[in-house]
Each structure stands twice: as structure tokens, then as C-alpha cells.
């Protein structure tokens, strides 16, 4: 483990794997730097992969009050620690953070995104995202981390009975430790204000070469959003990974990333 410090002084923990051009891995909800370790190992023969704990997770610090701008500054510090510029891969809500960072002007050379979970305009998912943000805020204010986890899991489609079983699983305490950062991902998605609506103006401002990936077995709406995201990016391309879902297999993902990063 290594550390760097963000603009506001927050400690950010990171790992480096491999040698070569830098690729920063930005995890999504309930991910820490270990979540990208398998992918980092597969890409290590060709590049240095930097995985990091987003603020409030793992070995990183957390300086209130939270703002999405602070997370963009965190990523800027990680890129600086990686050499001053880097390609960035973002997963799910981490893909949206990467997009916002690129739009902010961070020195990102290439951008790879897996299933950014935006919502279509005029869709009931917009209403549900706003309601989720409101309920999540109240639950976390009461300190009910387990209930916050359960809310998130049901919101992304996990059956309630399965969530109940997970509460007794060995991994549950570690997930509870990450629960407060669900509010951070909700803020990155802009759930409260827009319902995580596809941000056309923001995407149009991101001019770096970008690859948007989806899984062939993912829900149709998520695949459609991936295609629309790629179409709105000035230098965007789209690719589907056959047989994959939102829980993408690193062994399938790594070759697709490597082709894009070296193309």
C-alpha cells in the first residue's frame, strides 16, 4: 500500500501493480481498492494499474463535508501520484465519477467505462432514484448502516429474501463499514436532483478517446444506456462483452481494455 493526499488533505490509499503506462481503476458502490485486484493482475504485464480506496473506504480518510468535487480532487491526486497523466477505467458509478473528472479537465488520456448506470429521460427510474436518495439520507442519518445496505441491494434488483440471507454472511460487517459511502455514489449519480438522468451536456464536453462497455446478458435498459453514452461522447465507441453481466469477469474484461488502451 502507498498513500497520497488530496487537495483538502485527505489521505488516499492506493496499490500499484505491474509496469508500464498508468491506468487508474475507479471502483463503484461498495468497492474498495481490493475490488480491482484481479483485473490489475491481468493487465500488469502491459501497464501499471493503480487501484485506490475512494474516500471513506478502506485505508483512505474522509474529511467532511462530502462533495463530488472532493472525489474529483482525490482522483487528480492519484493521477499525479501515477506520473501526472493516466488512462482511467471506471466501473458502474465509478465510471460516472471518471466522466465527471474528465469533464472537469483532469489529465486523462483515455477513458474506459463499464455500464455507467444512468437513467433514461421520462422514465420511472428517475422517480425511484430520487426516492432512493431521500430514504438513504434518512437511514444513514439514523446510523442504520445495515438498513442502508439493504436499501441499496433491493434498489439494484436483489430479492429481499436474498438480502435477508446476506445479513448473516461473514462479508456483511465489511460491507456495513462501506455503507456511508453509498451516499457518495448517490451524489456522483446526481440522484437527488436529476434522478441520475443521462447528462447529455456533460458527455458532450468529454473529448478524450472513450470506450463504453456493457455485458450481453445485462438488462436491456442498461445496455441501451451504454450505447447512448458512447454515442454522446465525441470520441466514444461502444462494445458489448458477450455473456457478461454487471458483475463482469475480469478475464473477459482485461483483453477488451488492453485492445482499447493500445489502439
Cβ(241)–Cβ(252) below 8 Å:
yes
Query: Which residues, other chains included, contact 164 with Cβ-Cβ below 8 Å and sequence gap of 6+?
Result: none
Residue 94, domain member (yes or no): yes
CA-CA distance, 132 to 140, in Å (whole number)?
12
| Domain identity same for 23 and 97 | yes
Asked whether residue 99 falls in the same domain as residue 210, the answer is yes
pLDDT of residue 167: 92
Structure confidence at residue 136 (pLDDT)? 98
Give the pLDDT score at 121.
Answer: 86
Predicted local distance difference test score (pLDDT) of residue 123? 83
For residue 224, CA distances in Å to 9, 80, 115, 117, 127 come to 39, 34, 10, 11, 19
Place of cell 432514484: 129
Written as tens digits, the pLDDT of the chain (263 aa) is 999 999 999 999 999 999 999 999 999 999 999 999 999 999 999 999 999 999 999 999 999 999 999 999 999 999 999 999 999 999 999 999 999 999 999 999 999 999 999 998 888 999 999 999 999 999 999 999 999 999 999 999 999 999 999 999 999 999 999 999 999 999 999 999 999 999 999 999 999 999 999 999 999 999 999 999 999 999 999 999 999 999 999 999 999 999 999 98
Q: Which of 189, 216, 237 is the last residue of a domain?
A: 189
Residues 29, 142 share a domain: no
What's the structural domain count of the chain?
A: 2
| Nearest residue to 257 via CA among 211, 217, 225 | 211
Question: Do 152 and 219 belong to one domain?
Answer: no
Whether 169 is covered by a domain: the verdict is yes
Structural domain containing residue 160: 125-189
Strand order of the β-sheet with 2-5 is: 2-5, 11-17, 48-52, 22-26, 86-91, 108-114, 210-215, 236-241
Q: Do 54 and 172 share a domain, yes or no?
A: no
Whole-model pTM above 0.85? yes
Please indicate, yes or no, if residue 163 is contained in any of the structural domains.
yes
Domain identity same for 213 and 244: yes
Write down the pLDDT at residue 60: 98
- Judge whether 194 lies within some domain: no
Q: Same domain for 106 and 226?
A: yes
Same domain, 27 and 75: yes
CATH of residue 87's domain is 3.40.50.1820
Amino acid at each position: 500500500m502507498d498513500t497520497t493526499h488530496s487537495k483538502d488533505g485527505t489521505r488516499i490509499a492506493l496499490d500499484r501493480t505491474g509496469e508500464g503506462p498508468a491506468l487508474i481503476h475507479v471502483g463503484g458502490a461498495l468497492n474498495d481498492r481490493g475490488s480491482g485486484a484481479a483485473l490489475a493482475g491481468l493487465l500488469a504485464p502491459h501497464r501499471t494499474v493503480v487501484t485506490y480506496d475512494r474516500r471513506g473506504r478502506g485505508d483512505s480518510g474522509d474529511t467532511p463535508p462530502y462533495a463530488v468535487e472532493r472525489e474529483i480532487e482525490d482522483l487528480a491526486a492519484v493521477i499525479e501520484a501515477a506520473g501526472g497523466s493516466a488512462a482511467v477505467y471506471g466501473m458502474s458509478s465509478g465510471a460516472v465519477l471518471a466522466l465527471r473528472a474528465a469533464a472537469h479537465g483532469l489529465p486523462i488520456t483515455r477513458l474506459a467505462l463499464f455500464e455507467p448506470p444512468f437513467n433514461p429521460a421520462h422514465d420511472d427510474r428517475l422517480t425511484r432514484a430520487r426516492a432512493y436518495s431521500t430514504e438513504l439520507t434518512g437511514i444513514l442519518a439514523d446510523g442504520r448502516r445495515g438498513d442502508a445496505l439493504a436499501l441499496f441491494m433491493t434498489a439494484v434488483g436483489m430479492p429481499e429474501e436474498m438480502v435477508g440471507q446476506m445479513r448473516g454472511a461473514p462479508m456483511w460487517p465489511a460491507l456495513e463499514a462501506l455503507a456511508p459511502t453509498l451516499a457518495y455514489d448517490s451524489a456522483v449519480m446526481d440522484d437527488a436532483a436529476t434522478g441520475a438522468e443521462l447528462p447529455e451536456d456533460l458527455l458532450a464536453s468529454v473529448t478524450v478517446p472513450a470506450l463504453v462497455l456493457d455485458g450481453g446478458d445485462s438488462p436491456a435498459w442498461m445496455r441501451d444506456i451504454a450505447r447512448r453514452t458512447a454515442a454522446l461522447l465525441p470520441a466514444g465507441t461502444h462494445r458489448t462483452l458477450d455473456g457478461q453481466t454487471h458483475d463482469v469477469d475480469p478475464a473477459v474484461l482485461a483483453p477488451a481494455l488492453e485492445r482499447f488502451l493500445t489502439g
